[in-house]
Amino acid sequence: MGAMSRRLRLGLLTMFAAACAITFTVLLLYTFSRPGLRVRIDLSSTGTAGLSDRTVTALNQLPEDSRLTAFLFPEDDSFRWFNSNVYPQAFDRITSLMEDARVQSGGKLQTLVVDINSPMVAREREINRSARKPGEAIILESGGHRRVITFEDLFQILRANVNDNTPARIQLERVDAALGDAAVALASGTTLKAGIVTGYGQASPTDPNGLLGLSQLLVRDNWEPVEIEGPADADDCDLLIFVDQKQPFLPSDLSAMETWLAEDKAVLVALGPNASPAAAQQWNQLLKDRGTGFEPGLLCEPIRSANGMVEGRSDCAKLELNSERFSGQHPITIPLIEDNRLLLVIGARPVIFQSGTNDFTQERLLRTDPLAWADSQDPNGLVFSYDKNEERGIRSIAVASERWAPGEEGRMGRIVALGSSASLGPGLDFNRDFITSSLQWLGGDERQASGLIGLGERPFRPDRASLARINNMSVYGIPGVTLLIGLWIFWRRKR
Amino acid sequence: MRAFVALWRREVFSMMVSPFAFVLLGVWFLLNGMLFVVALNTQQVMDDLRLLPPFLFGSGMLVWLLLPAFPPLLCIRLFAEEHRVGTLEPLLTAPIRDFAVVLAKYLAACVFFLLFWGGVLLLFLLLHWHGGDLDWARVLGGMTGAILTSFLFLATGLWASSWSSNLVLGAGGGAALNYLLLFVPALFELNEGALGAVARSMHLPNFLDRGFSAGLLDSYALVYMLGLSALFLFLTWMRLVSRRWVP
Amino acid sequence: MIKTERLTKHYGTIHALTEVDLEVAPGEILGFLGPNGAGKSTTLRILSGYLPPTSGKASINGLDLMNESLAARRCTGYLPENFVAPSELRVSEYLRFRASLKGLRSKQVPAEVQRVAKHLGLEPRLRQPFSALSKGFRQRVGLADALLGDPPALLLDEPFSGLDPLQREEFRTILKNLATSGKAILFSSHVLPEVEEIAMRVQILHHGRSKAVGTLEDLQSHLHEKAKLCLRLSESGAQCEQVLTDAAKELDFSFTEQNDKSYLIELNDHSKRSELFQRLAASKLPVVEFRELRPDLDQLFRNLVEESPS
């Protein structure tokens, strides 16, 4: 063997071996990035560091070209006042779940996190491509459809208080639930149509002070909201939504409504205390078979304060509902209980049970405190205090009714009667999950779990001496001792 | 095996009695201590200690600036320094396989580098002893990710060290390679198509920030770090063995 | 024991070694001579397994350095040129490490370290860091390292460099003893008297080629060196010069008078030494001494180097 050929052979062998190793590593990485071989272990004690099974299942049902983009821009300045950690916490949660989504979707989902550190060109390109608007935090795109999740959809935030310099705080979050909902909606591939009735003095779904929020929420939950004058126009709708009603139905609409209900189609009716009594009366007739209806009055509760129970203030009509006030039996409210959700219903009338037929079930979704009363209008207006003409006791705020057994074509006859119209209007932010959950139930999709969960904050409030000790030990103590040990060893070895 | 253990023990021992290693350790603790204090004294972290691990082990200064630089500094003594001083020749003419030499040196560096992380863990224990309610899944997850990253950077450092007897080149080459591993995927992460997908699958801070520091162990991230470490060990071995193979 | 066949090593266009053959038997000391850059260290590095040859074969104890490198290295003790140990280690720590590296069991290590340390007079220095040792003791540590595990073949690259005369003497004794115990020793050196003193055979390397190999006498003969004879008489006289002049014509030698009683005879043909002696005896000259002078390695080396084209 000649020297040259030997050198060449061995040189080539070395390069070949290195190339083989690189190829092997690339193949290894490729193989282990495949869905079947990729495992994620959630080390957290609560098991909430990653996505829930429901969300993972939903993400896995999406087609190959699906794309999940998170835009982590701190756009609301008030969330940054007084050193608030809203954005760090929120972005931390979103990024970790985005990564989990990418992994758990088995690579089918292309995930992208765009933040203020992303290269400007790429950032602008993503914003333009996805037509992202301010406030939108996550956009899920699949098969030409898209779901948009706003920052407010993901986090329930207690805003900063400028009076006592309290920073804004995240109370609860629902990133996992929102991702799951969006994926379920896109995976189903069908969009249900929700008719928002506006012909009887209702607010407009395009009015920011009216029902725009509800309309946007419907879009995000895979509904196609359409504005209709009355039930007579609701030909191809799957759900009718009535938010307050200032006049009773015209005969044609009344007849259409009777037909609608007879066909076991879904209805969400929210009549607040300001709804027309005649309209309420009409609804009571319409819902009689379903075993529910509305009563006049404004539901009030005494306010618990340091001085005992306080009445006679308008705040009595702001009903703070904790999970004890939710039905533990119904698919709409079970997730809210599991998530320890808090609702704030502002201005509600009582929803009542009527003696309906045995074909329908009724379930009280939300209820008042046992000391609540329905404040009735007296000549001086609302007084927000209990008087002897009124009766204390537990009252229903929302009732759900459905057919015992689904009828032909799976018709379920689901309706939700809500005694507050504000909960779908200005107060939507405080009741978002209840409304979302209700809409899903009305659309025939029972949410098994998810919803809002607590972030589980771990604040650290050391006293000044402890903090100083930690700081000193960190900066001087540990490095100093290390250098001293090094010196001692050096000196010992030199001896 | 005896030769392997002997070399591993000698390397660990040499590091343990080396003033340079202790200076490196001290500087590491000092910089980490400063980062820790800066992070801890922010209102955000005070309000929620769960943000501390991502700050230290995620995409914070530690990962972007410190971590790529320190392992190669430790590695220069393993080959470049031995080559420069002349102790490599007696070692490589001893009856020990070249791969055992590479592995023994690498594992010794890994063991010594655990001391680096031990000091960081001490910072968290300090916090715990002073009443800090830590999310240990995040702390240990983040630390696991950071340890695996440092093991990867030790492997690249070892490879760089095997190429030169010049210490500056050895350490600088390793650090440069590590910074490339960090920054190049970050630059192309948002690209469309295959380039973006490859960049995202190689983006170390993402693994640390969104995976380990959030308390999630991802099998791919583990395979990526260990696989790449193994590749650089193999390339180091090739570098040594080709000296015997290629005339 | 130590053997190379047509050993060749090229560094790019530089031919460091060209087809060098050498062989060292057990119990033999082979001195490897050559000017700087002749290829001595390259040969030893190839034999130690540190470098691969470009072509040719090298083996230790019958084990091929390319194919059975690990086994061959087990049979070899190697002292590199300018031996250095890690400065942070003490002598005992270094020797213990090297003994373990050579595969000795942990129980055997202390005794083995003690054995070589005693053999080389290193016992008082065992607790000192390597960096604190003098050049002579560093070389001893290197030799101790080479001796650990009692390998049958020793490769020593410039073992005498930097040693004072006393240390050289000690080193020579040590090497002779090692050869007596059956080890094959190949050592390179610039110090010609040292090689002359202990090498049983000498191999001269120049420009990467083996110029000569054998005992000093063989080399002289091989290189057609004139036989140098010293003739001393009890008294001088014209008769003596006449006898030498007559014989010089027939036996082809020249002579020079050193002083009035002694002559230096340079005989071109080594085989005519006995004939010359018989002539001198027959002429009844008052011969006090007639002896052959030992060949001069220095001169030989110079001759070889000067002969070779650069």
Q: What is the pLDDT of residues A289-337, one digit of tens each?
A: 889 999 988 899 988 877 778 887 888 889 999 888 999 888 888 878 8
Partners of residue C8 in chain A, C-beta under 8 Å: 3
Partners of residue A83 in chain B, C-beta under 8 Å: 42-44
Q: Is C49 on the interface with B (CB under 8 A)?
A: yes
Reference A140, options A173, A116, A107, A111; nearest CA is A111
Chain A CA closest to residue B189:
A112
8 Å CB contact of C129 and A493: yes
Partners of residue A120 in chain B, C-beta under 8 Å: none
8 Å CB contact of B95 and C103: yes
Q: pTM of the prediction?
A: 0.70
Q: Is C88 on the interface with A (CB under 8 A)?
A: yes
- Summarised one tens digit per residue, pLDDT across range C200-247 is 898 988 888 888 888 867 776 666 567 778 888 887 777 788 888 888
8 Å CB contact of B127 and A470: yes
Determine the distance in angstroms separating the CA of C307 from the nearest CA of chain A, rounded to an integer: 28
Give the C-alpha separation, C249 to C243, whole Å: 10
Reference C185, options C67, C297, C118, C174; nearest CA is C174
Chains that touch A (3 or more CB pairs under 8 A): B, C
Give the C-alpha separation, C26 to C35, whole Å: 27
Chain C CA closest to residue B104:
C101
Residue with tokens 């009582």: A350
- Summarised one tens digit per residue, pLDDT across range B148-181 is 999 999 999 999 999 888 888 889 999 999 999 9
Give the C-alpha separation, B186 to A335, whole Å: 39
CA B105 to chain centre: 14
Q: Is C161 on the interface with B (CB under 8 A)?
A: no
Determine the distance in angstroms separating the CA of A17 from the nearest CA of chain C, rounded to an integer: 18
pLDDT at B246 over 80: no
Q: Which tokens hold the place of C157?
A: 């690259």
Distances (CA, A) of C282 to C232, C250, C285: 16, 15, 8
Looking at this protein, which amino acid is placed at residue B234?
Answer: F
Quote the pLDDT of residue C307: 62
Looking at this protein, which amino acid is placed at residue B160?
Answer: A
Q: Which of C14, C55, C131 to probe by mutation at the A interface, max A CB count within 10 Å?
A: C55
Determine the distance in angstroms separating the CA of C198 from the nearest CA of chain B, rounded to an integer: 25
Determine the distance in angstroms separating the CA of A193 from the nearest CA of chain B, rounded to an integer: 35
Give the C-alpha separation, B226 to B207, whole Å: 13
8 Å CB contact of B217 and A25: no
Mean pLDDT to the nearest integer, C129-149 = 89
Residue with tokens 């000259």: C285
8 Å CB contact of C100 and B6: yes
Q: Chain B, 76-115: which have a CB under 8 Å from a chain A CB? A: none
Query: Between A and B, how many CB-CB pairs are < 8 A?
Result: 232
Q: Is B179 on the interface with A (CB under 8 A)?
A: no
Chain C CA closest to residue B17:
C88
Partners of residue A10 in chain C, C-beta under 8 Å: 52
- Which residues of A sit within 8 Å Cβ distance of C? 1-3, 6-7, 10, 493-494
A22 vs C259, more confident: A22
ipTM of the complex: 0.88
* Count of CB atoms situated within 10 Å of the CB of A39: 13
Q: Which of A31-35, A402-406, B102-106, C130-134 has the highest mean pLDDT?
A: B102-106
Partners of residue C88 in chain A, C-beta under 8 Å: 493
Chains that touch B (3 or more CB pairs under 8 A): A, C
Mean pLDDT to the nearest integer, C130-158 = 90
8 Å CB contact of B90 and C89: no
A212 within 8 A of A205, measured Cβ to Cβ: yes
Q: What is the mean pLDDT of chain C?
A: 85
Looking at this protein, which amino acid is placed at residue A183?
Answer: A
Query: B236 is in which domain, residue-wise?
Result: 2-245
The parts of chain A modelled with pLDDT lower than 70 are: 1-7, 10, 35-36, 45-48, 106-107, 189-190, 339, 377-382, 406-411, 445-457
8 Å CB contact of C100 and B244: no
Give the C-alpha separation, C18 to A316, whole Å: 106
Q: Is A454 helix (H, G, I), strand (E, B) or coil?
A: strand
Domains of chain C: 2-221 (3.40.50.300), 226-293 (3.30.70.100)
- Summarised one tens digit per residue, pLDDT across range B7-54 is 999 999 999 988 888 999 999 999 999 999 998 888 778 878 888 888
Partners of residue A7 in chain C, C-beta under 8 Å: 54
Mean pLDDT to the nearest integer, B40-69 = 81
Strands in A229-350 per DSSP E: 239-243, 266-270, 292-294, 298-300, 303-305, 308-310, 318-321, 343-346
H-run or E-run covering A56: helix A53-60
Return the half-sphere exposure (C-beta side, CA atoms, 13 A cut-off) of residue A70. 24
Angle, vertex CA C285, rays to CA C282 and CA C286, nearest 5? 130
Determine the distance in angstroms separating the CA of C53 from the nearest CA of chain B, rounded to an integer: 6
Quote the pLDDT of residue A48: 66
Q: Is C85 on the interface with B (CB under 8 A)?
A: yes
8 Å CB contact of B22 and A42: no
> Which residues, including other chains, have CB under 8 Å from residue B203's CB and lie 6 or more apart?
B185, B186, B189
Least confident among A418-432, A448-462, B116-130, C29-43: A448-462
How many domains, in total, are found in chain B? 1
Q: Which of C97, C108, C155 to probe by mutation at the B interface, max B CB count within 10 Å?
A: C97
Q: Which tokens hold the place of A86?
A: 């809203």
Mean pLDDT to the nearest integer, B203-221 = 82
8 Å CB contact of B6 and C101: yes
Quote the pLDDT of residue A1: 46
Q: Which of B15, B87, B98, B243 to probe by mutation at the C interface, max C CB count within 10 Å?
A: B87
Chain A CA closest to residue C52:
A7
Q: Which of B131, B140, B220 sits opposite A38 (nearest CB)?
A: B220
Confidence of residue C310 (pLDDT cuts 50, 70, 90): very low
Q: Which tokens hold the place of B120?
A: 């960081």
Determine the distance in angstroms separating the CA of A18 from the nearest CA of chain B, rounded to an integer: 6
Proportion of chain C above pLDDT 90, given as a percent: 29
H-run or E-run covering A182: helix A175-188
Q: What is the mean pLDDT of chain A?
A: 83
B195 vs A438, more confident: A438
Question: Across chain B, which distance is largest between two alpha carbons, in Å?
Answer: 64
Strands A453-454, A415-418: pairing kind: unpaired
Quote the pLDDT of residue A449: 39
SS3 per-residue string spanning chain B: CHHHHHHHHHHHHHHHCCHHHHHHHHHHHHHHHHHHHHHHCCHHHHHCHHHHHHHHHCCCHHHHHHCCCHHHHHHCCCCHHHHHHCCHHHHHCCCCCHHHHHHHHHHHHHHHHHHHHHHHHHHHHHHHHCCCCCCHHHHHHHHHHHHHHHHHHHHHHHHHHCCCCCHHHHHHHHHHHHHHHHHHHHHHCCCCHHHHHHHHHCCHHHHHHHHHHHCEEEHHHHHHHHHHHHHHHHHHHHHHHHHHHCC
Q: Which of B48-57, B203-212, C134-143 has the highest mean pLDDT?
A: C134-143
Cα end-to-end distance, chain A, whole Å: 57
Domains of chain A: 53-172 (3.40.30), 191-448 (3.40.50)
Partners of residue A487 in chain B, C-beta under 8 Å: 19, 22
Quote the pLDDT of residue B164: 81
Phi first, then psi, for residue C269 (nearest 5°) are: -110, 115
Distances (CA, A) of B23 to A128, A429, B167, B171: 51, 56, 17, 16
8 Å CB contact of A22 and B231: yes
Quote the pLDDT of residue A447: 46
Chain A CA closest to residue C6:
A3
Give the C-alpha separation, A294 to A397, whole Å: 10
Reference B138, options B48, B33, B52, B205; nearest CA is B52
Q: Chain B, 120-139: which have a CB under 8 Å from a chain A CB? A: 122-123, 126-127, 130-135, 137-138
Partners of residue A494 in chain C, C-beta under 8 Å: 129
Q: Is C54 on the interface with A (CB under 8 A)?
A: yes
